[in-house]
Structure 1
Amino acid sequence: MQTDVDAWLAHALAAHRGHYADPAAREAAAGLLPPPVLAHAALLAELARLVPDAGPGQLVFAARLTAADPEAAADLAAFLTRATGTTDPAGNQA
């Protein structure tokens, strides 16, 4: 059950849906959600930028990667952010 809740939270955070549509709520989530959920959300967001028309069913592997190694998933998300240039000139994630 917890895995399903974590996946739902990660999807909502990555897609800026519901409560997480508010930028302040997304920022507050960084201090409240566990690192694996945040890593999963970051990875989902970057994968969605790479393939905008990818459906949730096509991205289920991101949850498995995050469950196996949350730190590596976060590192992959950061790498994809740099590789796709989704940062502003100051180096902040867009």
Structure 2
Amino acid sequence: MDAGAVAAALEDARFDVRQDSRHEDLVDDVRGRAELAEWEPLDQLLAAAAAADREAAVREAQRIAARADELQALRELHALEQAEPRDGDEAARDELTRRADGYVQADVDAWLAHALAAHLGHYRPGRP
């Protein structure tokens, strides 16, 4: 069951409780309130998980942007070849390309290609 289905079930339970409250013979029926009490924590848990996922995505985007800044600075200092490639540098390369409106950073591409061919950094065999 996904978040949308949980939200729909929660809304149905809320609707049922509202409807029950309008009918004298159903006011004391605890089934609707019990069902609502089951769905609310699930909805809150899924909302918290979604918020955590969004926060993680923001942190990852910030990490990629910072690494892209670092690679760009190294490139401008003609020191890129001295840097050791890391996991995620491909994403930083993509960020540099996006910043340049589709222009591929040839120096970064060449650096990554050399690192791959020479098995440097995170391209090193046997690396965990």
Return the TM-score normalized by structure 1: 0.30
Return the TM-score normalized by structure 2: 0.24
The answer to which structure, 1 or 2, has the higher relative contact order (CA under 8 A, 6+ apart) is 1
Higher Cα Rg: structure 1 or 2?
2
